[in-house]
Chains A and B, each alone.
Chain A
Amino acid sequence: MASAHDGSAAPLAVSARGLVKQFGRRRGLDGVDLEVPSGAFLSIFGPNGAGKTTLLRMLALLSRPTRGELSLLGVDALEEPDSLRSRIGLISHKPMLYGDLTARENLRFFASLYGDVDEARIDELLRLVELDHRCNDCARTFSRGMQQRLSIARALVNDPELVLLDEPYSGLDPHAAELFDELIGRVRDGRTFVMVSHDLEKGFAMCSHALILARGRVVVCAEKERVDAAAFRDLYLATVGTGVS
């Protein structure tokens, strides 16, 4: 898989073939094929239980597929997950921060899991998410929006090439969500994004590629430019309407 793309002009950030996550007779994912070029922003939509989060956890190497091939950033993710982990970041709806550690301590801790801590980089990240004035306050005292911003900084401590977003807007007020978008825009450069979202408007506005997942299968995956927004919306509503039995 990986070798097929090696040396090509635009290597694929994500390349999956026939991903299956099975438990018992239920299939969380039922043969997902996926190709995301480097630098793209893929939004994944779908009804509850469609397998969106399962897919994202698989891309984050938190869960292994039952069957199928997966290579991330040109590396076989099933063979050498450890070397890949330091190149991937995840921002979830849960902030993944220690409430009793300060913003700086949180970043320092997570950075130390990836290697030597670079204080200059931590300062830079704190400035980026505009929390440098509160870097010595405990994360518990932060508002939801601030926590989510700090969470972006946390996900970037290892300078990941692939950033995964799992329902990042849940619990954010419109203003915080706007700030969040702006921040993501600022760190877009050179990174590939994969986002799972319920929010069609926002998700569609940000993405370069859009995907609808239902019952563990890809209904449609296309470049945004080639998709008519209204039609995509119709298809999405039709799919969500089906829900999960």
Chain B
Amino acid sequence: MSRIENERVCAKGSGGRAPRALAQYRALLAKDVRQELRTREMLTSMGVYALLVLTIYGAALAQVGDKLQVVSFAGGLLWALVIFTSLLGLNRSFGHETESGCLEGILLAPVDRAVIFLAKATSNLLFLLAVEVVVVPLFFLFFLSGAELAATTPLIAVPLLVGTVGVAGVGTLLSTMTIETRGRDVLLAILFIPVAFPLLYACVSATTCAFLGVEGTMGTFWTSCGVALVYDVVMIAAAWGLYEFVVDA
């Protein structure tokens, strides 16, 4: 009887490892997206928070009359906005999973732990990008509407994309660890900001280059993007490999 059951299960779970992993990845991702679209918890809280940060920038920059001056450090401002907003979102991203033990429910199933990581990182990436799509134009509207923008300004999309990928990757690993600790919100910030710092540094450098568009700085732009990309690869590889140890006892 055991034999038959065995075969039945094998047949049930067959179809090769890779296609099954892909199906599981899609199921996990679809679940996150469906939940978010229903509650809009992460998106609204991140969006409103980003708006508040912009308001604070408004107060902080109220005495800077010349828009040209803002352009020179707009890259830094933009990234501070992105980092703070993502921190808020990352803190929430695992709320649903631990609320009623769902993560355990997922771990019960024959799912590769790396697939769980990838799916969560992807959904975080999607939500962060969705917020950025709204917030970055607002940033331009509020602080750069009068300024003369360099022709290279659209290139800021490159560091934004590369940077957000890294933020989502590292953030997913760290928020999995902090979700079940005391004072998790603060702890995530304490762990995340130093770890993400090299990425932040490179992205600010690239974004500033794009904003200023000075002749001959394009080399620095691409180098910085390259550094950010290397960071993404190293950190996501490390997170991928270590995720198993974070979720499995």
Contacts and interface: CB of A to CB of B under 8 A. Distances in A.
Q: Are A and B in contact, CB atoms below 8 Å, in the complex?
A: yes
B38 A100 contact: yes
Interface residues of A, number: 42
Interface in A86-144: 86-90, 92, 94-101, 105, 109-110, 112-116, 138
Contact of B249 (A57, A95, A96, A147): A57
B interface, by DSSP: helix, strand, loop or mixed?
helix
Contacts of A154: 105
A149 to B, nearest CB: 14
Contact of A115 (B13, B96, B100, B107): B13
B107 A98 contact: no
Interface string B1-44: 11001100110110100001001100110110011001100000
Contacts of B9: 83, 86-87
Interface in B88-138: 96, 99-102, 104-111
Contact of A86 (B12, B28, B34): B12
Contacts of B30: 109
B249 A63 contact: yes
Contact of B101 (A74, A96, A100, A112): A96
Contacts of B248: 62-63
B103 to A, nearest CB: 9
A109 B27 contact: yes
A94 B249 CA distance: 18
Interface residues of B, number: 35
Contacts of A115: 12-13, 15, 20
A105 B104 contact: no
A96 B100 contact: yes
A60 interface: yes
A99 B109 contact: no
Shortest Cβ-Cβ A-B pairs, 10 listed: A94-B101, A96-B105, A113-B109, A112-B27, A85-B110, A63-B249, A96-B101, A100-B35, A74-B2, A82-B110
Interface of A: 6, 11, 38, 57, 60-64, 73-75, 82-83, 85-90, 92, 94-101, 105, 109-110, 112-116, 138, 147, 154, 158, 161
10 contacts: A11-B2, A85-B109, A86-B12, A87-B5, A90-B104, A90-B108, A98-B100, A101-B38, A147-B100, A154-B105
